[in-house]
Chain A
Amino acid sequence: MPRALACALLLTLGTACRSSAPSSDDAKTTGPVRGGTLVASLRSEPRSFNRYVDNSAAADTTDALTQARLVRINRRTDELEPWLAERWTSAPDGRTFTLTLRPGVAFSDGTPLSSADVLFSFAVVYDPKLQSPLASGLRVQGKPLQVSAPDASTVVVTLPAAFSPGLRLLDNLPIIPRHQLEPAFKAGTFGDAWGLTNGPGRMAGLGPFVVSDYVPGQRVTLTRNPHYWRKDASGAPLPYLDRVVLEIASGQDAEVQRLEAGSIDLMSQADLRPQDYATMKRLRDRGAVTLTDVGTGVDPNVLWFNLATTQPSRGYLQKQEFRQAIAYAVDRDAIVNSVYLGAAVPVYGPVTPGNRLWYSENAPKYPHDVARARTLLAGIGLIDRNGDGMLDDQSGAPVRFSILTQGGNIRAQTATVIQEQLRQAGIAVDVVPLDFPSIAQRWMSGSYDSIYYGFQASAMDPAMNLDFWLSSGSAHVWHPEQGSPATAWERRIDELMQQQIAAPRIDDRKRLFAEVQKIFGENLPGLYFVAPKVSIATHLRVGGAEPVLLDPKILWNPDTLYVKDGASAPQR
């Protein structure tokens, strides 16, 4: 069965729509200061500045700084905000929206924005030859949106089916300049446009900054967009910063060291690892950084079993009771304390308490109970038959499975703790640390027992993550792209999610999604153990930061960021 690699897919695991205000340690602010340079780290080298062809974290970061959308989901409040479109109306059917473009908006090269640019952006993203990674986030039930432009400042968007999040979809589409990119698009070379060599200094964007320079392996320099359209509350033009420098750091260790040395102001992929927290707390106490506890993470790691490929000799691997037994056998508090050093909370499903709007308290929970786990296992014929303390199946073969996970990080450490805890329950586990392409290959070929991995959340609303919930989805990782639901419970989740995305009232949507979480928790196609507490450190000179749970955690509002020493700071 052909399958996609969903591992890089940005999953929306439906969690809190409204995150609370972060409890910042930074109590003293003196108001925005104009000018100066903000230095952030970039964990990986950019591959291109063209977000339509590159879905890497580096491309996401530069996109947040240089591009703009018709509407924006405010990452802090989760409200939909007018952005390039200053207002919109919706038809009674709830599927057709008429958006009016904000007057006076121009690209960074001075060319005015018009509805032709919006039409061009949609044409590019849906181009079958380009196969943009952005396209899947702009479809409803696999169908593209219909877009038309009655005049230069009006755009009409029609959804192919009822979809409650409505215009929130448009937050996925950066509007690109037709006048600059249409020749490349027509020539079939759009994928090479805005690359590392032909992008800097030439890209026309609608975001607060433009890429002015790129030094391979070292940095990307962005300077203020002179035609940026936003103004602050006092009417002063934004952005506050003159420049943003993205220093390329090879790995998170290098980023933390640079923050400690004061050579960067923040990490663009901002959250701290548990082992970094003590260092940052020391720096906070010394008055060098601001440490913000943002809340419980919304993208916990998941252990899933291969439910797509039957293994006759080890049929227990696909039994619900086996997964439930594992859920009981694993001591989540031990993982919280030994791996996350206390900076995590136990979780039991994909929607964590960090997602306050969509999290359901009624989803099943599995407190640590080894005796109950053994009872469940005995119920499916897995008992200790030879007195060695480990369980055996009916044929006398030991109960054993492997966990593939990414080596050298917190996932591997967690998998090792799970291994030890399952050994105490009589289950032998082999932890196999691999790199990402190897895990992906094993997953795509279906040659694995289980995988422990994590997915980056891109939105809180579960309707934006149907690929995960629906049995036909490519991110339905335990059994992707099913022609028809393989199990009764998957069929029921499909039905509930279809109702959920079409329901106009939020209360109905929450009720339906709570039922989905309950079914998920009972059947456990994925086992969740802990969700980290997200902490973010920024240099004390950074102002205007409003850290959030979703990426980019700090740079989502780059135009209102500032440095407190402004232009008086030494050029970096």
Chain B
Amino acid sequence: MRFVLRRLFAALLLVFVVASGSLLLAQIAPGDYAAQMGGNPAVQAAERHRLGLDRPLVEQYTTWLRRSLTLDLGDSFQYRRPVLDVVGERARNTAILALVSLVLATTIGIPCGILTGSRRGGLLVRLIRAASLMLVSVPPLITSILLVTVAVRTGFAPISGRLSGARLIVPALALALPLAATLERLQAQAIRDALHRPNMLSALARGIPRRRLVWHHAWRLSLGPILAIYGVMIGSLFSGSFAVEIVTSWPGLGDLMRQALTVRDTHLVAGCAAAGALFLGVGVLAADVAHAALDPRVESETA
């Protein structure tokens, strides 16, 4: 429990630091939100005053800090609504996309990795390896553009309209495929390592069928190293989803963050960054807990 609490505290600290840093960076960037208000100096000055942008930077930050301690991240300048409400609406969509992508990547990547790690050759193995290498070397952004183009030309999946399972296909594939390829590469190596352990070699010598050995025993042994990097992968999933969301018009945090940065909606920038950090923190925490559950040494080593 202490382990979970400590990790939870670390996650919250991460959220706070990321949100603070984002707010400060957005504030010191040239220009401000009032610049969007047109040519009339009085209109801009009034907007600047209404939003408190005419106050010193330190005062703006301390005001935000005070409010954020009560979980009030301020109001979005452009939407005139609490940041938490605006971010909450979009975070749900990002979470759905990330979760579906993670499940998709896992269900594709892990079995493929077990297959390629446990076999020496064959056409299927070569094909999977080649596809993996290609997908790993192509960033999700490019995959998104390709998938959107194919979707537009063939109509295999909608790229606009109401949010639905079908609407999720393009962004989820764009995010999941490179991740699945990474998982395949890691899982293949992990299963190879597991199969070379003495207990596995001796089981093989005792005549236990290789197929059973791979799918029942070696696979479990290989889980540890895979879970260890899951937290990091979840983090990359969220950072990758920002670009994918923009390209595929998925209304999540990435799209919102882009808008907020474009118009210097600093409170909203901080809110989006906080949500991203929260996702990362929770992902790492979940992976750590799962890893500790599988291997108690993890908890005792980090205690």
A341-381 interface (Cβ within 8 A of B): none
Residue from the list B44, B46, B249 in contact with A5, Cβ < 8 A: B44
Contacts known (A133-B38, A437-B263); A250 close to B255, Cβ less than 8 A: yes
Please, which residues of chain A bring their CB within 8 A of the CB of B148?
A: 257
Please, which residues of chain B bring their CB within 8 A of the CB of A48?
A: 79-80
With a 10 A CB-CB cut-off, give which of A3, A195, A441, A475 has the most chain B CB atoms: A441
CB of B264 within 8 A of CB of A437, answer yes
Which residue on A lies nearest to B88, using beta carbons?
A216
Which residue on B lies nearest to A45, using beta carbons?
B259
Which residue on B lies nearest to A133, using beta carbons?
B38
CB of A261 within 8 A of CB of B159, answer yes
CB of B81 within 8 A of CB of A9, answer no
Please, which residues of chain B bring their CB within 8 A of the CB of A441?
A: 30-32, 35
CB of B159 within 8 A of CB of A263, answer yes
Please, which residues of chain A bring their CB within 8 A of the CB of B155?
A: 261
Which of B160-168, B196-204, B226-234 contacts the other chain?
B160-168
**Does B107 belong to the interface (CB within 8 Å)?**
no
A177 shortest CB reach to chain B, Å: 20
Please, which residues of chain B bring their CB within 8 A of the CB of A180?
A: none
**Does B217 belong to the interface (CB within 8 Å)?**
no
Residue from the list A250, A263, A436 in contact with B246, Cβ < 8 A: A250
Contacts known (A131-B46, A217-B90, A249-B249); A258 close to B32, Cβ less than 8 A: no
CB of B40 within 8 A of CB of A4, answer yes
CB of A131 within 8 A of CB of B43, answer yes
A40-85 interface (Cβ within 8 A of B): 44-45, 47-48, 55-56
Please, which residues of chain B bring their CB within 8 A of the CB of A133?
A: 37-38, 40, 43
CB of A8 within 8 A of CB of B38, answer yes
Please, which residues of chain B bring their CB within 8 A of the CB of A264?
A: 160
CB of B35 within 8 A of CB of A131, answer no
**Does A136 belong to the interface (CB within 8 Å)?**
yes
Contacts known (A250-B258, A254-B249, A436-B262); A263 close to B35, Cβ less than 8 A: no
Which residue on B lies nearest to A257, using beta carbons?
B152
CB of B29 within 8 A of CB of A438, answer yes
Complex CA–CA separation, A437 to B259 (angstroms): 12
**Does A442 belong to the interface (CB within 8 Å)?**
yes
Which residue on B lies nearest to A247, using beta carbons?
B160
Which residue on B lies nearest to A245, using beta carbons?
B161
Complex CA–CA separation, A135 to B247 (angstroms): 37
Please, which residues of chain B bring their CB within 8 A of the CB of A438?
A: 29-31
CB of A216 within 8 A of CB of B251, answer yes
A433-474 interface (Cβ within 8 A of B): 434-442, 444, 467, 474
**Does B12 belong to the interface (CB within 8 Å)?**
no
A53 shortest CB reach to chain B, Å: 9
Complex CA–CA separation, A45 to B86 (angstroms): 12
A236-265 interface (Cβ within 8 A of B): 247-251, 254, 257-258, 260-261, 263-264
CB of B40 within 8 A of CB of A197, answer no
**Does A428 belong to the interface (CB within 8 Å)?**
no
CB of B159 within 8 A of CB of A257, answer yes
Contacts known (A257-B152, A258-B160); A251 close to B246, Cβ less than 8 A: yes
How many chain B residues touch A (Cβ–Cβ < 8 Å)?
51
B106-145 interface (Cβ within 8 A of A): none
Please, which residues of chain B bring their CB within 8 A of the CB of A501?
A: none
Which residue on B lies nearest to A444, using beta carbons?
B35
Complex CA–CA separation, A361 to B145 (angstroms): 46
CB of B39 within 8 A of CB of A6, answer yes
CB of A4 within 8 A of CB of B251, answer no
Contacts known (A4-B41, A250-B258); A47 close to B80, Cβ less than 8 A: yes
Residue from the list B40, B79, B93, B162 in contact with A47, Cβ < 8 A: B79
Contacts known (A47-B78, A258-B159); A437 close to B32, Cβ less than 8 A: yes
B1-47 interface (Cβ within 8 A of A): 29-47
A393-451 interface (Cβ within 8 A of B): 434-442, 444
**Does A87 belong to the interface (CB within 8 Å)?**
no
CB of A216 within 8 A of CB of B90, answer yes
CB of A440 within 8 A of CB of B31, answer yes
B212-270 interface (Cβ within 8 A of A): 246-247, 249, 251-252, 255-256, 258-259, 262-264
Which residue on B lies nearest to A217, using beta carbons?
B251
**Does B151 belong to the interface (CB within 8 Å)?**
yes
**Does B89 belong to the interface (CB within 8 Å)?**
yes
**Does A491 belong to the interface (CB within 8 Å)?**
no
Please, which residues of chain A bring their CB within 8 A of the CB of B86?
A: 216
CB of B80 within 8 A of CB of A4, answer no
Contacts known (A217-B255, A435-B262, A437-B32); A5 close to B39, Cβ less than 8 A: yes
Contacts known (A195-B81, A436-B31); A263 close to B39, Cβ less than 8 A: no
Complex CA–CA separation, A131 to B31 (angstroms): 20
B124 shortest CB reach to chain A, Å: 34
Please, which residues of chain B bring their CB within 8 A of the CB of A4?
A: 38-41, 43-44
Please, which residues of chain B bring their CB within 8 A of the CB of A436?
A: 31, 35-36, 262
Q: Mark A210-229, 1 if CB is under 8 A from B, else 0.
A: 00000011110000000000
Complex CA–CA separation, A7 to B31 (angstroms): 13
CB of B32 within 8 A of CB of A192, answer no
CB of A250 within 8 A of CB of B249, answer yes
Please, which residues of chain A bring their CB within 8 A of the CB of B36?
A: 8, 56, 436-437
CB of B30 within 8 A of CB of A216, answer no
Contacts known (A131-B43, A218-B251, A261-B155); A572 close to B161, Cβ less than 8 A: yes
With a 10 A CB-CB cut-off, give which of B38, B44, B148, B264 has the most chain A CB atoms: B38
Complex CA–CA separation, A254 to B162 (angstroms): 15
Complex CA–CA separation, A439 to B262 (angstroms): 12
Q: Mark A98-136, 1 if CB is under 8 A from B, else 0.
A: 000000000000000000000000000000011111011
Complex CA–CA separation, A436 to B39 (angstroms): 14
B246 shortest CB reach to chain A, Å: 5
CB of A467 within 8 A of CB of B39, answer yes
Please, which residues of chain B bring their CB within 8 A of the CB of A235?
A: none
**Does A191 belong to the interface (CB within 8 Å)?**
yes
**Does A150 belong to the interface (CB within 8 Å)?**
no
Which residue on A lies nearest to B85, using beta carbons?
A197
With a 10 A CB-CB cut-off, give which of A55, A196, A218 has the most chain B CB atoms: A218
Please, which residues of chain A bring their CB within 8 A of the CB of B78?
A: 45, 47
Contacts known (A195-B81, A437-B31, A437-B263); A132 close to B43, Cβ less than 8 A: yes
Please, which residues of chain B bring their CB within 8 A of the CB of A196?
A: 79-81
Please, which residues of chain B bring their CB within 8 A of the CB of A8?
A: 35-39
Complex CA–CA separation, A403 to B93 (angstroms): 40
A328 shortest CB reach to chain B, Å: 31
**Does A92 belong to the interface (CB within 8 Å)?**
no
Contacts known (A442-B30, A572-B161); A260 close to B152, Cβ less than 8 A: yes
Contacts known (A216-B251, A435-B262, A437-B263); A7 close to B37, Cβ less than 8 A: no
B52 shortest CB reach to chain A, Å: 15
Residue from the list B47, B89, B162, B252 in contact with A131, Cβ < 8 A: B47
Q: List 5 tightest A-B contacts by C-beta distance, closest first.
A: A437-B31, A217-B251, A9-B39, A131-B46, A6-B39
* A131-B43, A261-B155, A474-B41 given; 20 more Cβ-contact pairs under 8 Å: A2-B41, A4-B44, A7-B39, A8-B38, A47-B79, A131-B40, A131-B46, A133-B43, A195-B80, A196-B79, A196-B80, A216-B251, A250-B246, A250-B255, A254-B159, A254-B247, A436-B31, A439-B31, A444-B35, A474-B39
Sample (11) of A-B pairs whose CB atoms are under 8 Å apart = A2-B41, A4-B39, A4-B40, A5-B37, A8-B37, A9-B39, A131-B45, A131-B46, A135-B43, A217-B89, A441-B31
